[in-house]
Structure 1
Amino acid sequence: MAITLSKGQRIDLTKTNPGLTKAVIGLGWDINHYDGGSSFDLDASAFLADESGNVQNDQEFVFYNNLQDPSGAVEHTGDNRTGEGEGDDEQLTVNFSQVPSHVEKVAITVTIHDAEGRNQNFGQVSNAFVRVLNPETNEELIRYDLGEDFSIETAVVVCELYRHNGEWKFSAVGSGFSGGLAALCRNFGLEV
């Protein structure tokens, strides 16, 4: 049975799940019914950040145009351009044993592709969630439903996986940004 978290909550991931070396991070969402003339394309990404919160190089930013970091620790399973259907819309896998030693956290984000050009924002998105699965058993370990806290934001830091005393923990962040992917990249120290 999955543990359901609220915004701001943190929980042990590897300590409470002994032997867990990999996790699947599933993200999903629905689009509210409206006719804005353009379809929505939401994209999941991962930023592999050091203890100061910065990504050391572009290759440690995993997204639809860079599906895996150089260490092989974080992999994006592919872009879903419609978000149609049930279940996860996009997934990332994290192999904890391969995360480079300088990486202290893996921030999982979702952005709306070309949000400004299409006049779209997270106020038009509902039922957004993230869940952590054990790929060995397909068991859902953690779930965080984001709720309807957003209005004009075009990017969201959904959660973070971070190191603490040699173990990995999960933090339900739910922090919105305006300015889309470019704003997120700047937040993690990358030049756009």
Structure 2
Amino acid sequence: MSSFNLSKGDRFSLSKAAPGLTIVKIGMGWDPNDEPGGPEFDLDVSAFSIGNDFKIPSDSYFTFYGQIRMGNKVEDKIEKGLFRPLTEDGAITGAIDDPDGSRSDGDDDEDMFIDLTKVSHKIEQIIICCTICKYPHDNNKDRRTLDLNFGQVNDCYIRIVDERSGEEVLRYDMKDQYTNEDAVEFGRLFRVGETWEFEAMGRAHTGSLQALVDMYT
């Protein structure tokens, strides 16, 4: 199966492209800061699972690295001893934080897993987001991160992989010319009857993760 490259606004039927797809891997990557001594590009992938009122039903449906709770260990997907966030319906297993984008060749910087068969009937769409982590929440407590934006980040992408086969289904490379935006709604998975589709959104905001929290909670 060949992968499809999407542009902003494109919609894609997962059921048609990958019949039998049940567990989706959302992979995200970006290039580290190549400025000598510059602040790290610490990007975080998160998801908001929302209902027909465009709000999350409970805090559990806001999936980000800060939601980790004991007992959410997924042995076959992560290193021993590490934990990931988990939605209360058990459908979304969130990402482990990657602080700088220095992935190995062929690997994603961050990933999350979505079992489409477990998504609660309360959820109509899952918004996949990317935000820049800034002072004082960054690992190095570097005040220079306050000035970072997506206009400085290169080769940022999101892709969907069939976790069962390991095959990439689609990819969306973020090519917009951003200026001061530090939060992007990368794409969304949404129900169409009994099937799921994906839309490449690329909708940018200022205010980092808090701007998205204010929208969906």
Task: Judge conservation of contact 1:21–1:96 (CA < 8 Å) in 2.
Answer: yes
TM-score w.r.t. the length of structure 2 is: 0.82
Matched, 1:99 2:119: yes
Gaps of 5+ in 2: 68-84, 137-142
TM-score w.r.t. the length of structure 1 is: 0.93
Distance 2:135 2:157 in 1: 20
Distance 1:7 1:30 in 2: 20
Distance 2:38 2:3 in 1: 38
Say how many residue pairs are matched: 189
How far does residue 77 in structure 1 lie from its aligned partner after superposition? 3.5
Task: Please identify which structure carries the higher strand content.
Answer: 1
Within the candidate set 122, 134, 145, 1:114 is matched to 134
How far does residue 32 in structure 1 lie from its aligned partner after superposition? 4.6
What corresponds to 2:30 in structure 1?
29
Moved over 4 A (4+): none
Distance 2:176 2:200 in 1: 15
Matched, 1:174 2:202: yes
Matched, 1:14 2:15: yes
Distance 2:34 2:159 in 1: 24
What corresponds to 1:145 in structure 2?
173
Gaps of 5+ in 1: none
Structure with higher Rg: it is 2
What corresponds to 1:69 in structure 2?
87
Q: What is the percent sequence identity of the aligned residues?
A: 35
How far does residue 35 in structure 1 lie from its aligned partner after superposition? 5.2
Distance 1:149 1:56 in 2: 34
Distance 2:209 2:135 in 1: 10
